[in-house]
Amino acid sequence: MKKLTIILAAFIASVLGGCCPANAQTITNVEPVTLDSTNTTDVTKYDLTLGADGTTIRGHTEGGFDVSISADPIKSARALWVGASQSLYWQPKLAGSTDVDADWVMHIKSSNLYAEPGWSAGNVYGDGDFWRTGPEFIAQYYISDDSYIAANLNYDFVSKGSGGFRYSLGIGFEF
């Protein structure tokens, strides 16, 4: 416990020592760790994501493939991205879904990670036609300037039966 306390104290001292000058002058260049909006240019960007996905709704689990495209078309709200996705499920039987979504994209400063809370709505067909809608959360980790790994989790309220979860993992490209 003593060793942990010393390590913690050293860490706190190094953090405070790096941001607080010894002569107590006003700090002008220290930025807090916060989320910020992303694309501030006037150029519309597009994302294409390819991945494997699954869904668990009404006690049924299905697995398949997902492709989605999204853009930030509103110049006054560049952090708002809208998109559409198409899924094809083949396990345990053939089904599909089409969804639209809107997400607020936030960059986590000092990292390559983006957090995207939002909402999606769509239709599932081939396995008992029903509508679904609900909140979603996407995390994108950029591995280069224009490619990323994406993880997505949705909770769906459905028109027939009880709700469920959707999840996907894939790779994306920005252009």
Q: Which residues pair with 148 in a beta bridge?
A: 142, 172
- CB neighbourhood size of 146 (10 A): 12
Model pLDDT for residues 136-154, shown as the tens digit of each residue: 999 999 999 999 999 999 9
**Closest listed residue to residue 132, CA positions, set 81, 64, 168, 85:** 85
Q: Write down the residue that tokens 């959360």 correspond to.
A: 137
Give me the DSSP letters along 129-159: -EEEEEEEEEEEEESSSSEEEEEEEEEEEES
Architecture of domain 44-174: Beta Barrel (2.40)
List the chain domain ranges.
44-174
Q: Are residues 37 and 106 in contact, defined by beta-carbon separation less than 8 angstroms?
A: yes
Model pLDDT for residues 116-132, shown as the tens digit of each residue: 999 999 998 986 788 99
What pTM value is reported for the model?
Answer: 0.74
